Amino acid sequence: MAKQADATAPRAPLSRERVLRAAITLADESGVETLTMRGLARTLGVEAMSLYNHAANKDDILAGMVDAVVSEINDAVAEIDVPATEWRTAMRRRILAARAILLRHPWAPGVIESRTTMSPTMLRYFDSLIGLFREAGFSTDLTHHAMHALGSRALGFTQELYDDSQELGPDETAALLQQLAGEYPNLTAMVSEITHDADTTLGWCDDQFEFEFALDLILDGLERLRDAA
């Protein structure tokens, strides 16, 4: 039935590029857990087994997807020009640029963490950060520790431990807090005090602010250690 344009307009031939692009779009829109070989093939108008002509297996596809996203990051970082003297702002800009891109690919953090080997593009990104530290006068050792301390934050993400996406209304929030006050007194006190000052729902964490807060905390500490040496 979907065979209008067949011989005359041969549907763009499959390629690794096209497979990966489709996989990323699909994961962006409906989550990586719904990314199946059969489903991916369907969006490409092809049978599942055809994918194996352009990727070794599903793992290879996931690797390619990560690689594409990190390439995006490398491209964005390449366009940032901050005088080499201002390492702090240069570092900040790069990491926040990475974060901005990862926010558009919510599946990426999980997939990145689940992979054991680092892709060449990832190595390239980290190499650039290391270069920035070294130029800024950080010792080799301190640079090494700095990279570990940043961890996944260097790539612009931290896996949150809880999900505050299920926003509760102010009434529900108040009721829930009251109910939990006995068991978790400190937590409920903190939440109610903060939500009282800000808006009145439970969706009370500004992820961007918290990310930058922790990032600055770490960069401050590293700078201090560098200057103390």
- Give dist(CA 50, CA 142) in Å, integer: 49
Q: How far is the CB of 52 from DNA (least distance, A)?
A: 5
10 binds, among DNA, its own copies, none (CB under 5 to 8 A by kind): none
Half-sphere exposure of 110 (CA within 13 A, CB side): 10
Q: 166 by DSSP, 3-state: which?
A: coil
52 binds, among its own copies, DNA, none (CB under 5 to 8 A by kind): DNA
75 binds, among its own copies, DNA, none (CB under 5 to 8 A by kind): none
Closer of 143 and 173 to its own copies (Cβ): 143
Q: How far is the CB of 162 from DNA (least distance, A)?
A: 22
Residue 63 is a binding residue for DNA (CB under 7 A): no
A 10 A CB-CB count for 160 gives 13
Closer of 63 and 73 to DNA (Cβ): 63
Per-residue contact track with DNA, 9 to 48, x per CB under 7 A? ----xx--------------------xxxxx------xxx
Sign of dihedral through CA atoms 177, 183, 187, 193? positive
Residue type, 64: G
Burial of 147 (0-12, 13-18, 19+ CB in 10 A): middle
Are the C-beta atoms of 215 and 153 separated by less than 8 Å? yes
Residue 115 is a binding residue for DNA (CB under 7 A): no
CA distances from 179 to 9, 61, 77, 168, 198 (A): 64, 47, 47, 14, 21
Which residues bind to its own copies, rule: CB under 8 A? 110, 112-114, 116-118, 120, 122-124, 126-128, 130-131, 134, 140-141, 143-145, 148-149, 151-152, 155, 158-163, 180, 183-187, 189-190, 193-194, 205, 210, 213-214, 217-218, 220-222, 225
Contact set with DNA (CB under 7 A): 13-14, 35-39, 46-50, 52-54, 57-59
